[in-house]
Structure 1
Amino acid sequence: MQADNEDYELKQAKDMAAARKRWEALVRDEKVKVLTPSQAGYAIQLSNKTLLDVRPSTERKKAWVKGSTWIPIFEVDNRLDSGTVSRKVTSFVMGGWWSGTPTLSYDSQFLSKVEEKFPKDTDLIVACQKGLRSLAACELLYNAGYRNLFWVQGGLEAAEEEDLVIEGPQPIKFAGIGGVSEFLGWTDQQRVQAAKEGWGYRLLYSARLRLKSGLILFAKVGLFLVADALFLGAQRVGSYIQELRSH
């Protein structure tokens, strides 16, 4: 299993290096136009361009751009086959426990979902959280015949509050964080926000996370206790039935 994981990681690294070269060429040759988050906001408001959000559900549910269309290019992989479980374990050990980054898999229906909603001449502003997955989406869309593509450089995480109209329970900058680092308030995004608003903000944010985590833990413990009680009850009933039979 370890050898398989190493081969998988090596292949991923090589594929990413090759992909970066292709993406750089797309931008350099202006086949994909580059927008800052601020410019994207102006384009949405003044030109009615569509923002295509290609982030996974774990990020989308935390915050999103008002009026955007959500079609993830990668989604959380919930399969339980040996290969997926192995990748999940590797990801967790290699830092997933700290960052909270889930194991993602490519949605093979991504292109067909986009084509169902948008004709090839649509002006599409493509965005993800940090900018890489949206570049991958731009490459697929360009190869499929879309020619009016705009890429949000730096992703939605680079947006300031005034750049875009944001909806959702969290700031858009926090949509990509998670794990222990978020719980402790030690992510770069939280430190930047704390520097702007003071450490009181960080304490309040961390306290809210701890309360939320505590409630989740309490619920899990409660479910465990209920399951344990049902198991013990079933054992006792079985013993009682056995005694009746023996008499």
Structure 2
Amino acid sequence: MAGIVSTCALTLSSKSNSRTSWSEFETHHRRTIRGKPSRCRNCGIRAEVNFVDADEAKKLVRDDGYAVLDVRDKTQYERAHIKSCYQVPLFIENQDNDFGTVIKRTVHNNFSGLFFGLPFTKLNDKFVDSVQSQLSPESKLLVVCQEGLRSTAAAKKLEAAGYNNVACVTSGLQSVKPGTFDSEGSTELQDAGKAGLITIQGKISAVLGTVLICAYLFITFFPEQAEKLLQLAPPS
């Protein structure tokens, strides 16, 4: 069913390398249609992201001249990265010192930071500018991250900035088998997202960490109730 919208856009879903890609078409009909394209006048492609698996990604780099753009944070990049790649993080470490950020950073560092080794970050507002300073809009880019979420968001920003040859690895580097790419770092590409106490005792640490952070938050935000509970606890 077609609906009237305020912008002149016709959106269709297409298939590329057995993965779903999206193309946006401009039309004077002021309609948005999802499905197979119909004939229209003055249609032009705006953007398309190609989602590929690890083997397809390797072929793009080896045979088609795609440059690898790593958009992970510095910590994951240093643990393992594809050789000769470009690195521009989509998120950067948040060192702001306003009251709200300090509280959020403290909570984060006592949970995600401690147990999962994740830094406290914010969106890099200079991401596109940094990419443009190193790679021209005509470049063919394979955008990678650890899980596939950041690379998808980064690809969308690059498409909007005029990059029309962009591919992403579905599910990110965590799905890449050892030896698929030449890599550098202290671990394999698929393990670069693993850090913190969870790497020591696995699921036990994850459960323990969840319990401890819940207790921490309860004591922090409900100190009176926590004190009453401690008073009810039998003496050791």
Give the shorter-chain TM-score range. 0.5 to 0.7
Secondary structure of the 1:52 match is strand
Q: Given that residues 129 and 155 in structure 1 are in contact (C-alpha distance below 8 angstroms), is that contact kept between their aligned partners in structure 2?
A: yes
Q: Displacement of 1:96 after TM fit?
A: 4.1
Contact 2:67–2:141 (8 Å) recurs in 1 = yes
**Matches of 1:171 and 1:107 in 2, distance apart?**
26
When the two structures are superposed, what TM-score results if normalisation uses the length of structure 2? 0.64
Aligned to 2:42: none
Q: Tell me by how many angstroms 1:185 deviates.
A: 4.4
Deviation at 1:95, TM superposition (A): 4.4
Q: CA deviation at 1:93?
A: 5.0
> In the alignment, what sits opposite 2:82?
65
* Map 1:130-141 → 2, pairs under 5 A: 130-141=147-158
Give matches, 1:46-57, under 5 Å.
Answer: 46-57=63-74
- 1:151 match: 168
Deviation by residue 1:53-96 (Cα, 9 ceiling, x = unmatched): 00000100100001111111111223333222111123245544
- The AA in structure 2 aligned to 1:167 is E
> d(CA) in 2 for partners of 1:95 and 1:145?
35
Distance in structure 2 (CA, Å) of the matches to 1:93 and 1:168? 27
Residue of structure 1 equivalent to 2:22: 29
Aligned CA distance change for structure 1 residues 186 and 164 (closer, same or farther; 3 Å): farther
Change in CA separation of 1:179 and 1:45 when aligned onto 2, cut-off 3 Å = same
Greater percentage in strand: 2
SS of match in other structure, 2:168: strand
- The sequence identity of aligned pairs, in percent, is 27
Contact 1:64 1:168 in 2 (8 A): yes
Compute the RMSD of aligned alpha carbons: 2.3
Where do 5+ consecutive residues of structure 2 fail to align?
A: 1-12, 15-19, 24-47, 205-236
Distance across 1 between alignment mates of 2:179 and 2:62:
12
Pick which of 106-115 and 73-82 moved more.
Answer: 73-82
Task: Give the SS at the match of 1:179.
Answer: coil
Q: Residue type of the partner of 1:70? A: Q
Q: Which residue of 1 aligns with 2:136?
A: 119
Partner of 1:110: 127
Query: Counterpart in 2 of 1:218?
Result: none
C-alpha distance in structure 1 between counterparts of 2:82 and 2:184, whole Å: 6
Taking the aligned partners of 2:188 and 2:95, their CA distance within structure 1 comes to: 26
TM-score by length of 1: 0.61
More helix by share: 1
> Could you say which structure has the greater relative contact order, defined with CA pairs below 8 angstroms and 6 or more residues apart?
1
| Pairing 1:42–2:59 present | yes
Partner amino acid, structure 2, of 1:171: E
1:78 partner SS: coil
Match in the other structure for 2:117: 100
Return the alpha-carbon distance in structure 2 between the equivalents of residues 83 and 170 of structure 1.
35
CA–CA separation in structure 2 for the residues paired with 1:58 and 1:120 = 27
Measure the CA separation in 1 of the matches of 2:130 and 2:109: 31
SS where residue 85 of structure 1 aligns? helix
Indicate conservation of the 8 Å contact 2:90/2:154, yes or no: yes
Q: Provide the residue aligned with 1:85 in structure 2.
A: 102
CA contact (8 A) 1:38 1:164 kept: no
Q: Counterpart of 1:126 in 2: which secondary structure?
A: strand
Equivalent residue, structure 2, for 1:203: none
- Once residues 50 and 185 of structure 2 are traced to their aligned partners in structure 1, the CA distance between those partners, rounded to angstroms, is 28
